[in-house]
């Protein structure tokens, strides 16, 4: 049976990867849905993404197999979805999968839907072509599910009604009378301490994910305890120890920088090798903030190497940031990254080899399928003591050896790169780059973030609405809550590094779209999809953090900050309504709502907003003073004298005379202008920490 190639012109590299399958794939859309209804055939919905290892495995085993494809084409209307472009579909069907199977989901997600309403009646994740791993073969699944659909309609209708009710309960957006108080912050900290792995860092056991929102919550908790005069050093330890173990581990690319998705072991040694932009943006911000808080040299180096990797490999010539690097190359997971010890020995002189081998464990048994993946086993200081060398000499040799290996590795066949530009993930990286620029005094990172923001505004902002994805000259798909929230948050971070009035105006436009199209005006909070989005089986409203921070949490914090900066009550009231609506969920599982807790914390303790006016080096000097420390309860904006197009709340804050002037604001009130350096330093002390 011939098939039509419907995926080749899609912007998703994941869909393009399946364009040549013998499966008669459709992208999600009315053509496929109407065909399923007309022919009364169930829908086979397959959701994945281009860097997903097990997606590739299932594709090779089943979707490229003529016999399996023939079954799929005869029995189903087959729809392929990129979860990165359609997170709305992924969120809904992942939840449905967990309800149907009572197990966690993942990718590839394989769901079977009724054609008239797209309700799922059976599902799973990866299915092998032949029965193994305790799973039936995919061909057997295909025939049994199709038979069940045609023979058990009444049972499916009853089950679908139950599923619809369950989804409605999960996404119930009604407010409750529950209130939040500061105890939720302590409860989150206590819950994270119970989950903390004191031996290896992180939370829980393998597979180990970085959970940057939880680490950010702990770092902010420590900051709050410092300001209250009761320093919680254990909270700081949990963050610092985890980030140290990750930076020394194989989950961090020891040669090229950047973090992989997760570790398959407790030790952060062997990762799942894909690199995702959405992990690296928040982690870049965290390592930069840890350096600002503690002066930790490893945190600084890790942040710089991550940011440099983004500049080198993940920023397009047009300015936007690419999405992912694949786990596989040449058909093998991790092949690009692992080493043969004998080959490394050939590349280095005796002195460099002796040090590198001890540092990365090349003098130990192999740790990845007969080869070595680089993981720090022995620190430079310990090697120096053992060999009777100066520590700086050891570091110099290590850096030289690492550079040599990186040079050789660069000639290998690289993992695939998903070059679509996602607005939400770009927002996360814009914030990460801006935070690195601010805390590391690295203007090249701010320049990178500015290029990305300009690209988003010029390419993905159309007719006063935001689009979600871009590739090969085509921007499309209506943006989601996360696109607006993460981008707004990134702009506010970038404005603290360098001021542009047009960026503030763009932030305001984004905030207005959020309120107009995403806010639940009746109960509070924000829907994941806009009010004019395609109607799906449910309109989701997600409160908890997932692999990325909660869009509701980030939107709530960013709106409140923008409201204080502009004196705009609408934004503050929307943030207040969102927190009230989320109170019951936050009280039930505080640590799972770390982003919303941070927004709540800034409602309890209004951030200090510094407006600096002046010119030249004097203004830059005051800005550096404000940016030097880790001060999460402070936002500082240096606006050069003569800047035009300022909103009224900022236009009144002028810089008379020659020197800089600071306005210190909290809530809706601001101090008299501060013109003396001593007075400015005193104002900073209110929010400055001392680790």
* Main-chain dihedrals φ then ψ at residue 374, nearest 5 degrees: -70, 125
Phi, psi of 528 (to 5 degrees): -75, -30
For residue range 74-88, what is the model confidence (pLDDT) as tens digits? 999 999 999 999 999
User: Can you give the pTM of this predicted structure?
Assistant: 0.96
Give me the pLDDT at residue 691, please.
46
CATH 1.10.10.410 for domain 198-330+418-604: no
Q: Which helix (H) or strand (E) holds 564?
A: helix 551-566
In the structure, what pLDDT confidence band is assigned to residue 589 with cuts at 50, 70 and 90? very high
Task: State residue 174's pLDDT score.
Answer: 74
Chain length of the chain? 691
pLDDT at 134 over 90: no
Q: Report the distance separating Cα 557 and Cα 25, nearest Å.
A: 41
Calculate mean pLDDT across residues 588-613: 96
SS3 assignment, position 445: helix
- Supply the DSSP symbol for 533: S
DSSP label of 102: S
Mean pLDDT for 488-506 is 98
> What's the pLDDT score for residue 690?
55
- What is the domain partition of the chain in residue ranges? 13-170, 198-330+418-604, 339-411, 608-685
Helix or strand or coil: residue 115?
Answer: coil
Q: Mean pLDDT across the stretch 189-216?
A: 97
**Domain range 339-411, CATH class:** mainly alpha
pLDDT at residue 477 greater than cutoff 50: yes
Average pLDDT, the chain: 95
3-state SS, residue 70: helix
Q: What is the pLDDT of residues 381-407, one digit of tens each?
A: 999 999 999 999 999 999 999 999 999
Distance, in Å, from the CA atom of 305 to the CA atom of 451, rounded to the nearest integer, reads 20
Question: Is residue 656 predicted with pLDDT exceeding 90?
Answer: no
Strand ranges for 254-368 from DSSP E: 262-263, 271-272, 275-276, 324-325, 328-329, 332-333
pLDDT in tens, 143-180: 999 999 999 999 999 999 999 999 998 887 777 778 89
Alpha-carbon dihedral sign for residues 539, 545, 550, 552: positive
| 185/594 Cα distance (integer angstroms) | 9
Q: Strands of 40-169 (E only): list them.
A: 43-48, 77-82, 109-113, 120-124
What's the topology of domain 13-170? Glutaredoxin (3.40.30)
- Strand 608-614 to strand 634-640: parallel, antiparallel, or no bridges (unpaired)? parallel
SS3 content of the chain, % helix, strand, coil (to 5): 50, 15, 35
3-state class of 637 per DSSP?
Answer: strand
Label residues 173-192 b or e (16+ Cβ within 10 Å = b): bebeeeebeeebbebbbebb
Cα separation, 94 vs 331, whole angstroms = 27
Q: What is the pLDDT of residues 418-441, one digit of tens each?
A: 999 999 999 999 999 999 999 999
- CB contact at 8 A, 82 and 89: no
Tally of CB atoms within 10 A around 405: 20
pLDDT at 245 over 80: yes
Place of tokens 């619809």: 164
Question: What is the DSSP code (8-state) at residue 369?
Answer: T
Q: Mean pLDDT over residues 451-477, rounded?
A: 97
pLDDT of 1 strictly over 50: no
Compute CA distances 641 → 347, 447, 499, 612, whole Å.
56, 21, 11, 9
Fold matches, 13-170 and 198-330+418-604: no
> Is the separation of the CB atoms in 575 and 553 below 8 Å?
no
pLDDT band (50, 70, 90) for residue 3 = low
Residue 472, number of CB atoms within 10 A of its CB: 11
Task: With beta carbons less than 8 A apart as the criterion, state whether 255 and 309 touch.
Answer: no
Query: Using CA atoms, how far apart are residues 62 and 69, in angstroms rounded to an integer?
Result: 7
* Integer angstrom CA distances of residue 174 from 170, 310, 454, 624: 11, 41, 38, 45
**What are 500-555's pLDDT values in tens digits?**
999 999 999 999 999 999 999 999 999 999 999 999 999 999 999 999 999 999 99
Other Cβ atoms within 10 Å of 536 Cβ, number = 16
Which of helix, strand or coil describes residue 35? helix
In a 10 Å sphere around its CB, with 0-12 CB exposed, 13-18 middle and 19+ buried, how is residue 290 labelled? buried
Say if residues 213 and 282 touch (Cβ distance below 8 Å): yes
Q: Which of 263-267, 450-454, 515-519, 653-657 has the lowest mean pLDDT?
A: 653-657
DSSP-derived letter for residue 77 is: E
């Amino acid at each position: 049976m011939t098939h039509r190639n419907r995926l080749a012109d899609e912007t998703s590299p994941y869909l393009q990867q399946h364009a040549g399958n013998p499966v008669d794939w459709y992208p999600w859309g009315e053509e496929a849905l109407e065909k399923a209804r007309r022919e009364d055939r169930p829908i086979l919905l397959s959701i994945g993404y281009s860097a997903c290892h097990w997606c590739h495995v299932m594709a090779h085993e089943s979707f490229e197999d003529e016999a399996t494809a023939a079954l799929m084409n005869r029995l189903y209307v087959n729809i392929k979805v990129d979860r990165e472009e359609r997170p709305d579909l992924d969120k809904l069907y992942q939840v449905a999968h967990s309800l149907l199977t009572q197990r966690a989901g993942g990718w590839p997600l394989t769901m079977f839907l009724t054609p008239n309403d797209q309700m799922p009646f059976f599902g799973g994740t990866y299915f092998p072509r032949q029965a193994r791993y305790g799973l039936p073969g995919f061909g057997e699944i295909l025939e049994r599910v199709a038979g069940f659909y045609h023979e058990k309609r009444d049972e499916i209708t009853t089950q679908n009604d139950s599923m619809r009710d369950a989804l409605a309960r999960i996404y119930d957006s009604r407010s409750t009378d529950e209130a939040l108080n500061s105890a939720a912050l302590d409860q989150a900290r206590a819950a994270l301490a119970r989950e903390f792995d004191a031996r290896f860092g992180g939370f829980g056991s393998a597979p180990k994910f970085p959970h940057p929102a939880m680490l950010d919550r702990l770092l902010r908790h420590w900051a709050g305890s410092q300001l209250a005069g009761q320093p919680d050093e254990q909270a700081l330890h949990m963050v610092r120890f985890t980030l140290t173990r990750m930076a020394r581990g194989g989950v961090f690319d020891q040669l090229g920088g950047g973090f992989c998705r997760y570790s398959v072991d407790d030790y952060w040694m062997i990762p799942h090798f894909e690199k995702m932009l959405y992990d690296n943006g928040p982690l870049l911000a965290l390592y930069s903030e840890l350096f600002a808080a503690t002066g930790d040299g490893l945190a600084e180096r890790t942040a710089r190497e991550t940011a440099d990797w983004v500049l080198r490999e993940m920023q397009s010539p047009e300015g936007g940031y690419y999405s992912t690097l694949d786990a596989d190359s040449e058909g093998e997971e991790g092949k690009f990254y692992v080493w043969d010890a004998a080959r490394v020995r050939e590349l280095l002189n005796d002195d460099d080899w002796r040090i590198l081998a001890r540092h990365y464990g090349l003098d130990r048994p192999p740790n990845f399928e007969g080869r070595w993946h680089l993981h720090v086993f022995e620190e430079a200081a310990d090697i120096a003591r053992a060999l009777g060398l100066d520590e700086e000499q050891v570091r110099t040799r290590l850096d030289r050896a690492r550079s040599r290996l990186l040079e050789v590795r660069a000639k290998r066949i690289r993992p695939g790169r998903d070059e679509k530009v996602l607005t939400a993930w770009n927002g996360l990286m814009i914030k990460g780059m801006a935070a690195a620029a601010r805390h590391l005094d690295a203007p090249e990172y701010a320049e990178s973030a500015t290029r990305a923001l300009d690209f988003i505004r010029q390419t993905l902002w159309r007719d006063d609405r935001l689009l979600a994805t871009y590739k090969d000259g085509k921007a499309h798909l209506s943006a989601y809550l996360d696109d607006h929230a993460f981008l707004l948050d990134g702009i506010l971070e970038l404005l603290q590094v360098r001021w542009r009035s047009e960026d503030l105006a763009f932030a305001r436009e984004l905030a207005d779209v959020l309120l107009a199209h995403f806010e639940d005006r009746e109960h509070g909070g924000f829907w994941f999809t806009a009010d004019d989005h395609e109607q799906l089986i449910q309109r989701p409203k997600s409160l908890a953090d997932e692999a990325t921070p909660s869009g509701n949490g980030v939107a709530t914090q960013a709106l409140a900050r923008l409201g204080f900066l502009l004196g705009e009550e609408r934004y503050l009231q929307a943030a207040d309504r969102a927190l009230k609506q989320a109170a019951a969920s936050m009280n039930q599982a505080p640590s799972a709502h770390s982003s919303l807790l941070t927004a709540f914390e800034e409602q309890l303790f209004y951030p200090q907003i510094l407006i600096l006016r002046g010119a030249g080096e004097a203004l830059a000097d005051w800005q550096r003073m404000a940016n030097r420390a880790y001060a999460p309860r402070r936002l500082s904006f240096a606006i050069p004298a003569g800047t035009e197009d300022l909103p009224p709340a900022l236009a009144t804050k002028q810089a008379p005379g020659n020197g800089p002037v600071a306005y210190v604001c909290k809530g809706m009130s601001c101090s008299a202008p501060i013109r003396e350096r001593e007075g400015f330093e005193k104002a900073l002390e209110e929010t400055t920490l001392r680790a």
